[in-house]
Structure 1
Amino acid sequence: MAKLVEDLQQQIGEIDHDANVLVITREFNLPTLAITKVFDTKATLYYLPIEPLHFLLQQRDRKPAAQLLLSVLCYFYQIGGIPYFREHSSYLYDVYQMINEWYSDEEICEYPEDYQHVIDHIQLIKRESGELLKSLSDKDQLALLDDQVSQFYPTTKTEENLKAIAYRVSTLINIYPGRSILDSIPDDLNRIDGEGRITAEHYLSFIWSGEDCLYDQLMETVNCELQEYNEIDEPMSIQLFDKPQNQISHNMSFDQEFFDLLNDLSDNLYDFAHEKHH
């Protein structure tokens, strides 16, 4: 069997070098030949800062932009499957808690005013991020996306980019209603357990900010842990050959657009953040 799979892998590789041949075994079913194709996430941490939304919501004259951005982020939270860092079930919840405990020692900061700044910032995150989570969970807000896109008139380049992103999100919802990126990541392919692996919640998440006093410590903590892992769960297309197939076929257009949007949205959020911090 191993020799057969090896020969098939060589033949398939000549057609598509990114495709892999597997024999999938599942309980109560016969082993099944499958050809898989993995979407390369490029070892990137897709962390979306939520502080720019908080910043916009505080400005009365930016309300249309704030509401449109909120609807876009609602999609990634409610449907897309991006965890929120203040939820106990999320990976980054524990990381933030660890950082909070680390800063509970006054000797961490050389100057008392620096220590007080960090403590005040941590309290602000705890207070405001909970309210933002309620907004992200609002299904009515997501339902407003199409109307908000059509009625939004941008006044800056950053707002123009936001509108373009929102339009693409609306299109993605119409083509793939209700589909999460987690639907593309198989739970188990002949794997005994998930320990020692980078899972989706490790590299997909909302965070508070990418420019605050906690960010460097956050990234250092995450990177130190993840560099110990040598396997990663990524979106995958699986074509089973439990019955005859006309051709090898893998459609990963949803995954491609989803991650393209994450990249563009992340840049857009940092552009809004730049307005505040600079």
Structure 2
Amino acid sequence: MDYAQTYHIGNNQATRTKKTKTVVQTAQRVRPMDAKTQRCERGSKRQTQVSTCGNVANGFLKTSFLPRLKETQTVQACKETVKTESDFYQSLSKLAEHYKIKPIQTSQFEYPYNLALAIWDMEEKLKESVMNWQEIRLVQDSKRTYFISEEKYNTGTTLYYIPIEPLYQMLHDPKRKRNAQLLISVCSYLYHIADIPYFRQEDSYLYWMYEMHKEWVEQDDETDENIVYKLEFEKAEFIGDCIEQKIFNPMSLQVFAQRLNTFKRSDAFDHECWLTASNAFALLTEYPKASIFRNAPMPEQDPDSYEDDNETIGMEKYISFISHTKGWLYENLAESINNEFNEYAAMQEPTICKRFDKKVVTKNTLDFENRLFTLLDDMCSLLYNYKTTRK
């Protein structure tokens, strides 16, 4: 076995001969060296001559200039850092201008602490001043570095189910008939323009929930209790079809302004109905074509997006008209819905992503969604708490 020789330059004393220790056998089965083998002694003040091996030109070609290569890599890394910082601060400036926020000065700090500090500062200020702000992401593609800001309306775990049976009762209440007509115009707006699903439409989520529970009841034994349950479904279908005809009628939307302007308020319930209708009419005026699904996240063009889509609760599942939010039928529906929703990983919610690069930044906001979900909440509460004055 050959060993590299170390050559000491200068005056050296004769080195003492060392006996080789026994080598522990390894997995490669390296044979131990003979302990009797000794190295040759060298006299002092002598230097072994070293000659080059092979052609000098070939040796030059085979030489690796590591220091120069390292320098080149360092220069390239520095250039990339400078560009990253430049892109970063340009994007940060656009983001700050868009949200009217004054960012902290961090350019005096070293990279990458300056970037981390700027991001932290911006996140804190966005959290305090921008409604619906969710997060910012720093993205680096092959061309540039830029920010993406995400705004999202947080629906929590709320079921926005608008009960229409109280509206039917209100129509047959002489004292509240005008209230009912005004609220029918509100529902007509929600039905036609805001695109709220209706539980009697076959393509709606709640339609199939009703059908599933109806089949279960029909498969049960015929008992007095079972007959009552069947009547519940018949009632829900009858009232549902009746109210849908009224809100589907385009005239209900056309006379919305007239009903609102001529509505007389005599008590707290009247005022609550008028205020809810006023908010709905303001939305209709400012956003005459806006649907509640306008900012619903779209599935990405990704082979794996189908699985992700199946793990997300779609907005059409927790927003809808419904027969009622009281009684045996609703309690059973709600239990099934909650059990199903517990199987999902996330909820689909209105979301806007804004990209701060060289392109024009979208000016879209979630103002419509903020106001519409408040309107849905008001409608649900108003109809849920309605008590007929009929005796």
The TM-score normalised by the length of structure 1 is: 0.84
Q: Distance in 1 between matches of 2:140 and 2:201?
A: 34
Which residues in structure 2 correspond to 1:70-109 (within 5 Å)? 70-107=184-221
CA 124–238 in structure 1, closer or farther in 2 if over 3 Å, else same: same
What is the letter of the counterpart of residue 13 of structure 1?
E
Contact 2:173 2:389 in 1 (8 A): no
* Conserved? CA contact 2:188–2:253, under 8 Å: yes
2:294 matched to 1:179?
no
Q: Distance in 1 between matches of 2:119 and 2:311?
A: 27
Which of residues 230, 235, 238 in structure 2 aligns to 1:127?
238
Aligned residue in 2 for 1:167? 278
Corresponding residue number in structure 1 for 2:24: none
| Partner of residue 65, structure 1 | 179
User: Matches of 1:9 and 1:190 in 2, distance apart?
Assistant: 29
8 Å CA contact 2:175–2:389 kept in 1: the answer is: no
Counterparts of 1:213 and 1:22, CA distance in 2: 51
Are the structure 2 counterparts of residues 158 and 24 from structure 1 closer, same or farther at C-alpha, using a change threshold of 3 Å?
farther
Deviation at 1:24, TM superposition (A): 12
Query: Which of the pair has more CA radius of gyration?
Result: 2
1:224 to 339, 348, 361: 339
1:252 equivalenced with 2:361 (yes/no)? no
Work out whether residues 170 and 388 of structure 2, in 8 Å CA contact, stay in contact via their aligned partners in 1.
Answer: no
2:163 & 2:296 partners in 1: Cα distance?
A: 23
Describe the superposition over 1:27-63 as per-residue Cα deviations: whole angstroms up to 9, x where unpaired.
xxxx996321111111211111010111122234432
Question: What CA distance in whole angstroms lies between the structure 1 residues aligned with 2:119 and 2:299?
Answer: 21
Structure 1 residue 151: deviation in Å? 0.7
Moved more, 190-199 or 253-262: 190-199
Shift of 1:78: 1.1
1:151 alignment counterpart? 262
Distance 2:299 2:366 in 1: 19
Aligned-pair identity (%): 28
Q: Which has the higher contact order (CA 8 A, sep 6+)?
A: 1
Letter in 2 for 1:251: T
For residues 152 and 98 of structure 1, what CA distance do their matches in structure 2 show? 41
CA pair 10-40 structure 1, distance change in 2 beyond 3 A = same
RMSD: 3.1
Shift of 1:113: 3.0
User: Does the C-alpha gap of structure 1 residues 156 and 19 become closer, same or farther in structure 2, counting only changes over 3 Å?
Assistant: same
2:165 and 2:239 in contact (8 A); partners too: no
Q: Distance in 1 between matches of 2:173 and 2:389?
A: 11
Q: Would you say how many aligned residue pairs link Structure 1 and Structure 2? A: 266
SS in 1 for 2:344: coil
Cα distance between partner residues in 2 of 1:232 and 1:138:
33
Check the 8 A contact 1:238/1:250 in 2, yes or no: no
Partner AA of 1:137 in structure 2: F
In the alignment, which residue of structure 2 is the partner of 1:20? 136
Residue pair 1:9, 1:21 contacting (<8 A) in 2 also? no
8 A contact 2:153–2:349 mirrored in 1: yes
Match of 2:26 in 1: none
**CA distance in 2: counterparts of 1:277 and 1:46, whole angstroms:** 28
Q: Return the letter of the residue paired with 1:151.
A: T
